[in-house]
Amino acid sequence: MPGAGEVFNEAEDILDEHDKALLATSASVKKEKAKPKRRPLPAQLPRIEVVVDLEEDDKMCDCCQSPLHKMGESSSEALEFVPAHIKVIKTIRPKYTCRHCEREGIESVVKTALMPATAIPKSIATPSLLSQIIMCKYQFGLPLYRQETMLGDIAIELSRQTMSSWMLRCADLLSPLYQRLKDVLLSQPVIHGDETPLNVINADKATSYMWLYCCGDDKPSKGTNIVLFDYHNSRAGQCAIDFLDGYEGYMHVDGYKAYEQTNATLVACLAHMRRKFIEAKGNNKKTVKADVVLNLIRKLYGIEQAIKDKSHDEKFKIRQRKAKPIVDELYQWLLKHKDKIPPKMALGEAITYAINQFEKFRRYLDDGRLSIDNNRAERAIKPFVIGRKNWLFSNTCNGAHASAILYSLIETAKANDLVVHDYISTCLQR
C-alpha cells in the first residue's frame, strides 16, 4: 500500500488530458549558440611592436643556400599589464610683496594666489584618488582594510579610518547630484523597486535594509537609465512611501506587501512566479503539473524575446494578440487547480502565490512600456549583494547612507556606459 506522502504527491504528479494538451504545444527551444570567437583587443590601446626575426644565418634556403626574401609576416597580440602608479601633485603658490614699500618703511601686503578648490580641503586626497578608492570598494567590492594593505605595499600610509571619513565627505558632496537623479527618476512613467538586507553594527535594529529604485535599462538605450539606493533600518512600507513621495506611475515589484501602501500602480513579476513552480517541481525528472505552468511561462518569455526591439505600440499589439490568450489560459489553469492541490504542498503554495499576484502581473499586457518581470531591479541590486559578501556590514547608519549615495552614482554610471573612475572624478571636481 502506498505511503501517505505518495498519495499526496499524486496531486502534483498526475497530468489530466488538458494538462497533456497544454504540454503538447511546448515553447520553442532556443538554437544552440555558436562557440564565440576571441574578440580582437581594443584598437585604442597603445601598441608596442616586438619583431621576432630569423638570425641572418637562417635567412638562407636549406635546399640551395640562396638568400631568402621576405614574403609577408604573421602577427599575434597579447596584453601587457602596467601596474598603476601614484604621483604627488605639488601645488606651489609664489608670494609677492612690494620692495618700494619695504624701502620706505611702509608695511607691505603679501599677495599670493588663492588655493585651488579641492574636494576635501587640507587633505592629501585628489578627486582621482578619491574616485579610485570609491571605485575599488563600491564597484569591485574591495574593503577599505584591503585597500589600506595595497597602498602600504607601495609605501603609502593611508589608514582605513581616513579613507572611511573621505567616503562620508564624498557622499555629502555628491548628495545634490543624488537628489537630482531622484527627481528625474520619480518623473518617469515606469520604475522598478526591490530591497535587500544589510547589517549595520551601530544601528537600533540588527537588520537594516537597502532599498533600490531604478528606471530604464542596465545598458545605454533611448530611455533614462537611473539606479538609486536608499538606506533604512527598517523594511516597513513607510520607507517606500517616503522615498516615492506620492509617485503614481507604474512600479515593477516582487510580492512584498509593503509596496501596496504606496500610490504607485504595481506590476508583479513573472520571474518570481516561475521560481515558485521550479521549487515545486524540485528534482523530479518526470513531467508533472508544475511543468504545465513552466511551459506556458516559457511561451510568454519567448514572445518577449521576439519583440524586445519593437516599439511600445507594437509590443502592446503583439502582446494582446499572442500573449493575452496564454495569460488567460494560465490563469484558468491556476483557478482550476487551486482547490485540488493542498495549499501546504509546494505546488499549492506556488498556485496561491501566483493567483494573489495575477491581477498585478497581467497589467504588463495593457501597456507596451511595461516589462514582464522585475529582472531590471534584480540585476541592478546584484552588485550590492555581491559586494556585501566582501565587506559584510556597515559600521554606522551614516556610513550606510553614504554607501547608498555612492552605489547609486556608480550603478547609474555603469547603466549609461560611462567609465566609473572618470565619472566620479569629474563629479568631485565640480
- Is the per-residue pLDDT at 11 higher than 60? no
- Is the per-residue pLDDT at 149 higher than 70? yes
Look at strands 226-232 and 111-112 and give their pairing. unpaired
Give the model confidence (pLDDT) of 280-335 as tens digits. Answer: 888 777 767 888 899 999 999 999 999 998 999 999 999 999 999 999 999 999 99
> Which residues are CB-neighbours of 430 under 8 A, at least 6 positions away?
none
- Is the per-residue pLDDT at 246 higher than 60? yes
Whole-number pLDDT of residue 267: 97
Tell me the pTM.
0.84
Whole-number pLDDT of residue 192: 97
Q: What span, in angstroms and rounded, lies between the C-alpha atoms of 171 and 407? A: 10
Whole-number pLDDT of residue 8: 46
13-37: average pLDDT: 61
Positions of E strands within 37-78: none
User: 377: burial class by Cβ within 10 Å (0-12, 13-18, 19+)?
Assistant: buried
Give the model confidence (pLDDT) of 94-108 as tens digits. Answer: 999 998 888 888 888
Q: What span, in angstroms and rounded, lies between the C-alpha atoms of 32 and 139? A: 33
**Cell 507594437 identifies what position?**
314
349-362: average pLDDT: 95
Compute CA distances 342 → 16, 17, 160, 189, 310, whole Å.
17, 21, 55, 40, 42
- Is the per-residue pLDDT at 415 higher than 80? yes
Whole-number pLDDT of residue 1: 44
First to last CA, the chain: 78
Domain boundaries, the chain: 126-268+391-430, 270-373
Give the model confidence (pLDDT) of 201-218 as tens digits. Answer: 766 676 889 999 999 988
Whole-number pLDDT of residue 46: 92
Whole-number pLDDT of residue 18: 60
Give the model confidence (pLDDT) of 31-70 as tens digits. Answer: 566 677 788 888 999 999 999 998 988 888 888 888 888 8
Whole-number pLDDT of residue 416: 95
Whole-number pLDDT of residue 6: 46
Q: What span, in angstroms and rounded, lies between the C-alpha atoms of 345 and 121? A: 62
Closest CA to 371 of 278, 295, 294, 270: 270
At 218, the amino acid letter reads D
375-402: average pLDDT: 85
